[in-house]
Structure 1
Amino acid sequence: MAASMKDVARLAGVSIKTVSNVVNDYPFVSADTRSRVRAALDTLDYRPNTSARGLRTGRTDLIALAIPALDEPYFAEMASLIVDAAEQRGWTVLIDPTGGDRSREKLAAGGSRSNRIDGSITSPLALTGNDVAGLARQRPMVLLGERFANATTDHVAIDSVRAAHEATRHLIDLGRRRIAFLGAHTRMRTAVVRLSGYQAALAEAGRHLDQDLIVRASPFGRAQGAAAMARLLTARKPPDAVFCVNDLLAIGAIRMLLSSGLRVPEDVAVVGFDDIEEARFSTPNLTSIAPDKREIAEVSVDLLCRRIRDGATGPPVDVVAGHRLQVRESTTGTAPLTTGTAPLTSGPPG
């Protein structure tokens, strides 16, 4: 027979109420008691009766995670961190890859695929501000990614304008004169926001904005990065540096440069965005903007927990997560002895 809370309480030497508090991740339990109860839970392989708990609390402890794709490294890494954070709080995550399709994003975030969810964490590509407002009225939701004007739900993201500015400034400070932007897209907020940071850095440095160096790419994959880089190389005055909207575009661009007989970074320096694991193992390894993915995951789960479990009300919370510029071989020619130790650059909550 499956172990009950009573069995766990007897083994841990605590009350059934204390076991319930630990299972539901309530804060008012001492560290020693919590550790003892968790050891008993593991020993007895206790599994909560979610059906009974749902009837009692009106919750299922299921949340949806709506992301554009699971085969893109950034979203896969983020999903893994969110699942870990949610599991630590006793939640089960239903992952729904939406393909960036508006109707699928609405279904996933709104719970239409599973009416049993308590709330969602959503990284949208196609939702509008009106879509978000309507979905937020249905159940708690936390948005990831670029900001919406007049947001009506909690939101967690890095300052992409500032990050793109720092990436471009890094190339300017290295003495690069013709810095291209790879990944322009008028309908993708990610591309639009990062382009504005690139433009701001050039303007601040008194550099002319050459429209020939702003190249479209869609979707943001390795093949598209290689193709866009090939187009840049046919320009009358090719670039000596490239800032890419994400790491996959940058890795594709590097492949094309090397295949064309050019050296990275001696002939063309390359910066990416997202700091996926592949960036650390590419040849040369890739300088990239590194969002604090763990912070984004932990904060987004905590915000959702406040709305669902604590019944928190009030205006939406906008959290600016940290980021850093991780400098590697693709811009300096030498790899740092250690990576990921630079302090995070973080703005205050909005």
Structure 2
Amino acid sequence: MRPSISDVAKHAGVSTATVSRVLNGSNSIRPHTRDKVQQAIDELGYTLPENNNAPKLFGNKLVMVLVPNIDNPFYSGIVKGIESTAKENGYAVILTNTQGESSLEKHYLDLLKQKQVSGVISLTPMMTQQTLPDEIQKLPWISCSEYNPESPVPYVSINHKQAAKDAVLYLVSKGHERVALVTSDSNYLYAQQREEGYRSALQDAGIPINEDYIQAMGDIDFPLGELAARRLLTQPEPPTAIFAVADMLAIGVMKAVYQMGKEIPKDIAVIGFDDLPLASMFIPSLTTIRQPTLDMGKTAMKMLMKKMAGEDVTSQIIHHTLMVRSSAK
């Protein structure tokens, strides 16, 4: 006999309502409780029943978008693009905040297999996507921004390595040889590729790479940019320019620079990445790499519709732009 939700609840020592909330991706469940429920699901081999009659409010026109951190403003542009194209074609979009948890992704994969949703667009980290089974390639699932390069799952993204290289070479063209990197978490493919671009630019320019100039902060929170800048600017020979892999880090860098009594770009140049709306609002305005997030979202939704129609889908790389502003002139 296949296990039921009641069996999972009993095995985990929680209520059936708690199991249901975990299965529905609710953020109200404590991580410890979610882990217990997920362990029970794995140990019992529970899956959604084939005859699951959960109401399909939009028939077979419901698309799920998996976002690793809904607080990150970068994702809003992509989601707007997805929603715009979805609405034009009669689809509804449901947003889920995965917080980088692979167990939630596997649950949403079950929903897709059970046809509770028509398709999935995933914005989650590469390392999370690597835990998904190979069968995902046969399902209507598209990766956007982040993707697993070893997976056949179609994706839309930019050339992160080349974009970072463009940013650093621009700094070099302005006479900077002591260029620092503020990066985030290597679990993200973009962080890996942007660091590769940073290193490649310096190598091409014949500038030795100073490992002390590379600050890996683990995330892109604003205070981490501040901390990274303080570490860099208190070195015996501080950098004259800083390239941050995200605008939020770059803005934190700029705050620390000013608090330390230095001027941008006179004393130190700063370049970010993403071109969030905040980037052009600061004084000085932030030089940054623009990702065409709206187009990325629209393209991802168009690719998903083709996949849902059984058509072959090819991955796409969309062009980036270096937005030169006051922080690095």
TM-score range, shorter chain: 0.7 to 0.9
Change (3 A) 1:132 1:209: farther
2:44 aligned partner: none
Task: Give the structure, 1 or 2, with the largest relative contact order (CA under 8 Å, sep 6 or more).
Answer: 2
2:317 aligned partner: 320
Change (3 A) 1:106 1:281: farther
- C-alpha separation between the residues in 2 aligned to 1:228 and 1:108? 36
Identical aligned residues as a percent:
27
Aligned counterparts, 1:207-286, within 5 A: 207-286=207-286
- C-alpha separation between the residues in 2 aligned to 1:228 and 1:110? 41
1:98–1:108 contact (8 Å) kept in structure 2: no
SS at match of 1:127: helix
Q: CA deviation at 1:268?
A: 0.7
- C-alpha separation between the residues in 1 aligned to 2:279 and 2:105? 28
Whichever residue aligns with residue 280 of structure 2, its letter is: R
- C-alpha separation between the residues in 2 aligned to 1:226 and 1:113? 44
1:182–1:228 contact (8 Å) kept in structure 2: yes
2:128 aligned partner: 127
- Identify unmatched segments of 5+ residues in structure 2: 1-54
2:250–2:271 contact (8 Å) kept in structure 1: yes
Change (3 A) 1:261 1:109: farther
SS at match of 2:328: helix
Q: CA deviation at 1:83?
A: 1.3
SS at match of 2:180: strand
- C-alpha separation between the residues in 2 aligned to 1:288 and 1:114? 42
SS at match of 2:103: helix
- C-alpha separation between the residues in 2 aligned to 1:119 and 1:112? 6
TM-score in terms of structure 1 length: 0.74
Aligned counterparts, 1:270-349, within 5 A: 270-308=270-308, 310-312=309-311, 314=312, 316-332=313-329
- C-alpha separation between the residues in 1 aligned to 2:203 and 2:106? 38
Q: CA deviation at 1:143?
A: 0.3
Q: CA deviation at 1:318?
A: 1.2
TM-score in terms of structure 2 length: 0.78
Whichever residue aligns with residue 327 of structure 1, its letter is: V
1:189 aligned partner: 189
1:244-275 alpha-carbon deviations (Å, 9 max, x no partner) = 01000000000000111010111110000000
Q: CA deviation at 1:132?
A: 5.8
- C-alpha separation between the residues in 2 aligned to 1:251 and 1:177? 22
2:156–2:318 contact (8 Å) kept in structure 1: yes
Q: CA RMSD in A?
A: 2.1
Whichever residue aligns with residue 320 of structure 1, its letter is: I
Change (3 A) 1:115 1:311: closer
- After TM superposition, the structure 1 stretch with the greater mean CA deviation from structure 2, 63-72 or 181-190, is 181-190
1:286–1:330 contact (8 Å) kept in structure 2: yes
SS at match of 1:296: helix
Whichever residue aligns with residue 292 of structure 2, its letter is: D
Change (3 A) 1:77 1:149: closer
2:244–2:271 contact (8 Å) kept in structure 1: yes
- C-alpha separation between the residues in 2 aligned to 1:187 and 1:266? 34
1:122–1:142 contact (8 Å) kept in structure 2: yes
SS at match of 1:325: strand
2:176 aligned partner: 176
1:188-213 alpha-carbon deviations (Å, 9 max, x no partner) = 32211100001000000000000000
1:271–1:287 contact (8 Å) kept in structure 2: yes
